[in-house]
A and B are shown apart, each in its own frame.
Chain A
Amino acid sequence: MSRVGRTTVLVVGGMLVIFVVAVAAMLDSIDRRFRPACLERVPEAPDGEFATVDWETDTDAGVHPVRYDDGLETTFPAPARGTRIVSTLPGITEMVADLGHAHRLVGISPWCDVPEGAQDPRRITVQPFDAEGMLAVRPDLVLLDRRLHLRDLATIRRRAPHVVMLETSRSLPHLVHSMQLLAEVLEGPASGPSPAAGSAHARALAFRARHEALVGSIDPTWEDGAPRVLVLGGWDPLYAMGPGSLLDDMLRTCGAINIACDLGTDASGTFNEELVLARRPGWILATTSAPMPDRMRERWRNVPAMRAGRVAPAHGDDVVRGGPRSLDVLARLHAVLRGTQPPEHLEATK
């Protein structure tokens, strides 16, 4: 074979390999028809893995924490009851304030509202980590979100060893548990089943009771089949909320199907536009404040949600933050999906 001939064979052979891979991918996609089971029925709630604090009674020092375990893979000494707290998320700041300890906040994230009772806390970022700011406020307790900040944990603990990771953006049961964990970290273990009125424990228990009552009042069955919902966090690129996000859990609680249910468990990700057309959501919840681009309105004109005008703005801070107000969001979401309130009702508070 001549040199030119061999080169040609090499190049054409390489292109054939590319073709084989492409055909295999095509056949695979046709074979699967891309209809995951989670589109047909509401998936079960994932098993909860909850963080705990172990307490030890010492005759000299009283009760003190000995170990904090985030329920998964990290365990380290628990903080003393925090008196100088840094909150790294708006939802966590709201939780601290809701439990009556806003006055202990010495640092909050740039996106937090300063809660009533807080005394001019410093703005501190975690991503990127503001090490100087963290050291300056001398915190004895840093509150992180497990899903959002796990990767930053080692870096933060080098400057502020006493951290607790809460679960504010994963599911409502995790949020409820996080409220109780936070109450425990702030005020020590509950002394009994009926904590003192006004204490953090009492407030956390009230939150749990409200959650149970609300979930109990929601009928997750639908006569005409479960509504199919797309939760979008961005238009360009198309960004959807999937399993692992608080809104996904709320939809499941309401008996609705998240059409991005196969997005993985990382809460959100880019989502292929053709699946929006193929899976035909009856509702679109937009957690971005940017308006829907005109060309998308045109392309999605046959999507049931568009035809029925069921595109609900969902970018209020109470919707996008996991915190004490999330139960209000669940109630509003249920009312909107049931049709007892207009789509704009989801955005009722700002």
Chain B
Amino acid sequence: MRGSLRWVLGLAFVVLATGLALCMGPFGIGPGDVWGALVGQADDTVASDVVRTVRLPRVLLGLLVGAALSISGVLFQALLRNELAEPYLLGVGPGALFGVTLAALWYGEAAMPPAFARGVLAFLGAVGVAAVVFTFARRAVRRPAVTVLLAGIAVGATVHAVASGLLYTLDDWHAVVRWLLGDLGLADYEQVLILGAVVAVAGLLAWLFARDLDVLTLGEETAWYAGVEIRRALWLFGGLGCLLAAAAVAQCGLVGFVGLVVPHIGRRLFGPGHRGLIPASALLGAGLLAIADGLARTLHAPQGLPLAVVTAALGAPVLAALVLRRSAA
């Protein structure tokens, strides 16, 4: 497929996914009413209310979370030269859980702390744990990437144990668990702006230094000979990856598989070069998460399904197909 056609298809996928996601939900609203609500000419005020105050911010946030997790996945897979690497591997997930649990303990009676406190503490927890992991890596004389990977697993497991223990003392720990399974239910435009800024800045920085990522995938020694400062790259891309994943987790909990699967799809469709792979994964991840969230709120309505359940259901078969395809090749 020609390069330009692929990009047109990628953009069309995101537009189509956004439109589809806006039409999905437990309250049936046809495409005409959705369009009317978006341009401010809706006949049905209820439909307009639903689309503009609930669905649109939710879909936009879903697009951004998908893009953030996908870019993060690309960065970690390149940095650690491991195709099974994903954003939560460096303790970002347990760190966010720890932060949300602390917020829930702090707020006491409320089943869940307010979104702002939850978001800030989830972010601090995730970044804090990632910082600890990278501090381990600073001590590594050789193979810092492997050290980061192992330190991430060890520190993540420790923090997860502590967070689970604290969680168990909460009266209503179910609310925290539900949130951790992925929930875009209370998305608003403020969250969209915050995450949008993070994705734009971090994504742009990653894209600007994408050539270093290309060289890093050839191995640390080769990258060193090619003039890439390994530790600086580790801090830069690791930091950006953690920032993106933590910002996404802070907004909607732990949504698995997106950061793992989307880079693989992106590589198949757009090739391994990171100049193309980063924006391509952002587009694919955004579209996929928007559709997944649409399914999550439509299937099993009115309760809905946790977002992580849908992303796993969609992502696991795709990953399995890709793995089988590669092993057969």
Residues of A at the B interface (CB closer than 8 Å) are 3, 7-8, 10-12, 14-15, 18-19, 21-23, 25-26, 28-34, 233-239, 260, 262-264, 269-275, 277-278, 280, 288-290, 293, 295-296, 299, 302
Contacts and interface: CB of A to CB of B under 8 A. Distances in A.
A33 B112 contact: no
B268 A34 contact: no
Nearest to B318: A14
Interface in B299-329: 299, 301-304, 314, 317-318, 321-322, 325, 329
A178 B329 CA distance: 67
Contact of B185 (A3, A238, A293): A238
Given A14-B317, A272-B26, A274-B27, A234 B112 contact: yes
A18 B291 contact: yes
A29 B301 contact: yes
Contacts of A299: 53-54, 188
A26 B28 CA distance: 8
Contacts of B25: 29, 272, 274
A7 B303 contact: no
Contacts of A233: 111
Given A25-B299, A277-B46, A277-B54, A270 B28 contact: no
Given A272-B297, A290-B110, A277 B50 contact: yes
A25 B318 contact: no
B294 interface: yes
B306 to A, nearest CB: 9
A290 B302 contact: no
B175 to A, nearest CB: 6
9 contacts: A8-B269, A10-B321, A23-B20, A26-B294, A273-B54, A274-B25, A277-B54, A280-B46, A296-B186
Q: Which 10 A-B pairs have the closest CB atoms?
A: A290-B110, A278-B27, A30-B28, A274-B54, A33-B28, A234-B111, A299-B53, A274-B50, A269-B303, A236-B112
B114 interface: yes
A11 B49 CA distance: 37
B11 interface: no
A265 B269 CA distance: 46
Given A237-B175, A293-B115, 4 more contacts: A236-B114, A271-B303, A272-B27, A277-B50
A272 B301 contact: yes
Judged by DSSP, the binding face of A is helix
Interface string B167-203: 0000010010011000101101010000000000000
A8 B190 CA distance: 38
Contacts of A22: 20, 24, 291, 294-295
B314 to A, nearest CB: 6
Contacts of B321: 10, 14
Given A236-B186, A293-B115, A263 B23 contact: no
A3 B326 CA distance: 10
Residue among A3, A21, A29, A290 with most chain B CB within 10 A? A29
A7 to B, nearest CB: 5
Contacts of A237: 112, 175, 178-179, 183, 185-186
A275 B302 contact: yes
A270 B177 CA distance: 13
Contacts of B16: 19
A295 B185 CA distance: 13
Contacts of B109: 289-290
B55 to A, nearest CB: 7
B58 to A, nearest CB: 9
B30 interface: yes
Nearest to B29: A30
Contacts of A271: 302-303
Nearest to A300: B53
Contacts of A280: 46
Contact of B303 (A18, A26, A264, A290): A264
Contacts of A273: 54, 185-186
Given A22-B20, A274-B26, A263 B325 contact: no
A82 B233 CA distance: 71
Nearest to B113: A236
A277 B53 CA distance: 9
B265 interface: yes
Contacts of A15: 13
A11 B186 CA distance: 32
Given A236-B186, A271-B302, A29 B112 contact: no
B217 interface: no
A275 B27 contact: yes
A302 B49 contact: yes
Nearest to B110: A290
B298 interface: yes
Nearest to A7: B268
B39 interface: no
B82 interface: no
A10 B268 CA distance: 10
B27 A288 contact: no
A233 B175 CA distance: 11
Nearest to B306: A270
A26 B23 contact: yes
A23 B20 CA distance: 7
A302 B45 CA distance: 10
Given A270-B303, A288-B111, A290-B111, A26 B318 contact: no
A277 B29 CA distance: 13
B1 interface: yes
B326 to A, nearest CB: 9
A274 B33 CA distance: 15
A76 to B, nearest CB: 30
A235 B183 CA distance: 13
Given A263-B302, A274-B54, A11 B265 contact: yes
